[in-house]
């Protein structure tokens, strides 16, 4: 079942909430007492394991180390309800690398979170205990609401200016978060949100594999679209009507991958992608084109390759349905999200501790 919240600003991104005072507001007592030491944020998703280590600098932070690996923790979860032994081993291997970086960088304050795969899995708590025992990393299995809050906190600085409503979305491996907001900066307010129970891994595994011919690919994509329309239906019915002035910002491997295809990059370049504004119709056209390509054709695209070729079509279906329910003319692309949201929260938390 999807996780819903009534249309009220209850996720915690109020002007006085921790983490929303960054970005040059200035004048705050909190920012006059610098925190010394490295901070770290680890985001273990259904598909990826990502780590950021940062050094506070002024009212912001500077990244000093990073790690990202596709671990496919949720592989097979849709069919069995459990994290597989192979997926667990891959993930613990990646987390061991993270643990080494945390030690070598002398991190003073860290938060490590796990999302949909661990929320759903029967053996999620058992996995978390094993991770702590073998790597020393204490994973916090966060709620869908907290996941949405952190994603918005991490990427909202890239949202285009304007006073109208905006939709921020995060297409994950096991779920997709949609957050309706208004305002910007310190005035940002969450109006409504949804965590749909499909991400690129779970949607791809739910839709039966029919073969790789044109007809089979078209049928599979149509089923993916149908499932996502149903998953978004209740939230879509609550959205305000309008077009043209609507703002839209996406953070996920899907949008950064499609943005890379749009730019024709020979290899992924975060500096070119993070903060890019693309025509929504251009992104839809890329999604539709990728959905008609064979697996081998997708593998041959430099910004997709072996690791994403089998999952990117599911992401395309999710993105198309988001564009259907929120017909913005432009789509902002963010290569930032939960980890940056954690870092901003940690920065405020660390400074507030020093003030006590």
* Model confidence pLDDT, tens digit, residues 224-240: 999 999 999 999 999 98
Contact 205, 285 (CB under 8 A): no
Q: In what order do the strands lie in the sheet with 48-57?
A: 60-70, 48-57, 38-44, 107-114, 139-141
Greater pLDDT, 349 or 300: 300
Instruction: Read off the tokens for 195.
Output: 């965590």
Of 168, 161, 188, give the one whose Cα is nearest residue 322: 168
- Lowest-confidence pick of 48-62, 314-328, 340-354: 340-354
pLDDT band (50, 70, 90) for residue 350: low
> Looking at residue 187, what is its pLDDT?
72
Q: Is the pLDDT of residue 305 over 70?
A: yes
Greater pLDDT, 3 or 111: 111
Question: What are φ and ψ of residue 115, in 5° steps?
Answer: -120, -130
Domains of the chain plus CATH, in order, are 33-142 (3.30.420.40), 146-334 (3.30.420.150)
Measured between alpha carbons, how far is 250 from 159 in angstroms, rounded to an integer?
Answer: 9
Q: Is the pLDDT of residue 3 over 50?
A: no
Give me the helix-helix angle, 280-292 and 253-263, nearest 10°.
90
In the DSSP assignment, the letter for residue 181 is E
Measured between alpha carbons, how far is 250 from 253 in angstroms, rounded to an integer?
Answer: 10
pLDDT band (50, 70, 90) for residue 241: confident
Instruction: Read off the tokens for 323.
Output: 């564009």
Query: What are the start-end ranges of the H helices in the chain?
Result: 77-80, 85-104, 116-120, 124-135, 144-155, 200-206, 214-238, 253-263, 270-273, 280-292, 295-299, 305-308, 312-325, 338-355
Contact 334, 282 (CB under 8 A): no
pLDDT band (50, 70, 90) for residue 31: very low
Which is it for strands 189-196 and 330-334: parallel, antiparallel or unpaired? unpaired
Residue pointed to by tokens 């709620």? 143
Mean pLDDT over 92-119 rounds to 96
Which is it for strands 176-182 and 166-171: parallel, antiparallel or unpaired? antiparallel
Of 78, 73, 53, 60, give the one whose Cα is nearest residue 24: 60
pLDDT band (50, 70, 90) for residue 126: very high
How many other CB atoms are found less than 10 A from the CB of residue 13? 23
- How many residues appear in the chain? 356
b (16+ CB within 10 A) / e for 65-104? bebebbbbbbbebbeeebbbeebbebbbebbeebbebbee
Q: Is the pLDDT of residue 143 over 60?
A: yes
Answer left, alpha or beta for residue 118, where phi above 0 means left and psi between -120 and 50 means alpha.
alpha
Measured between alpha carbons, how far is 347 from 52 in angstroms, rounded to an integer?
Answer: 13
> Looking at residue 16, what is its pLDDT?
30
pLDDT band (50, 70, 90) for residue 347: confident
Q: What percent of the chain has pLDDT over 70?
A: 87
Mean pLDDT of the chain: 87
In the DSSP assignment, the letter for residue 19 is T
pLDDT band (50, 70, 90) for residue 349: confident
- Lowest-confidence pick of 9-23, 135-149, 318-332: 9-23
């Amino acid at each position: 079942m999807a996780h819903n919240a009534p249309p009220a600003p209850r996720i915690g991104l109020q002007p006085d909430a921790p983490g929303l005072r960054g970005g040059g507001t200035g004048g705050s007592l909190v920012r006059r007492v610098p925190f010394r030491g490295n901070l770290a944020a680890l985001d273990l998703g259904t598909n990826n394991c990502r780590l950021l280590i940062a050094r506070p600098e002024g009212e912001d932070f500077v990244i000093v180390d990073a790690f990202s690996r596709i671990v496919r923790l949720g592989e097979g979860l849709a069919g069995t309800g459990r994290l597989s032994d192979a997926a667990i081993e891959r993930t613990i291997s990646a987390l061991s690398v993270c643990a080494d970086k945390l030690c070598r960088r002398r991190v003073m304050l860290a938060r490590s979170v796990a999302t949909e795969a661990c929320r759903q899995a029967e053996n999620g708590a058992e996995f978390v205990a094993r991770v702590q025992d073998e790597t020393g990393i204490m994973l916090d299995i966060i709620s869908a609401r907290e996941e949405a809050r952190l994603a918005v906190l991490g990427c909202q600085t890239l949202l285009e200016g304007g006073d109208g409503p905006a939709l921020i979305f995060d297409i994950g491996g096991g779920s997709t978060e949609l957050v309706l907001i208004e305002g910007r900066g310190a005035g940002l307010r969450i109006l409504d949100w949804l965590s749909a129970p499909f991400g690129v891994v779970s949607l791809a595994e739910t839709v039966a594999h029919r073969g790789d011919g044109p007809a089979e690919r078209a049928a599979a994509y149509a089923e993916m679209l149908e499932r996502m329309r149903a998953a978004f239906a209740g939230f879509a019915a609550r959205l305000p009507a309008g077009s043209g002035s609507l703002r839209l910002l996406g953070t996920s491997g899907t949008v950064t991958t499609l943005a890379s295809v749009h730019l024709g990059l020979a290899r992924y370049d975060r500096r070119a992608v993070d903060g890019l504004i693309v025509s929504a119709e251009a992104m839809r056209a890329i999604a539709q084109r990728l959905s008609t390509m064979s697996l081998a054709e997708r593998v041959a695209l430099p910004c997709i390759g072996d690791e994403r070729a089998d999952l990117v079509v599911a992401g395309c279906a999710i993105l198309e349905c988001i564009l259907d329910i929120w017909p913005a003319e432009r789509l902002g692309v963010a290569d930032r999200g939960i980890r940056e949201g954690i870092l901003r929260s940690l920065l405020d938390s660390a400074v507030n501790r020093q003030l006590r």
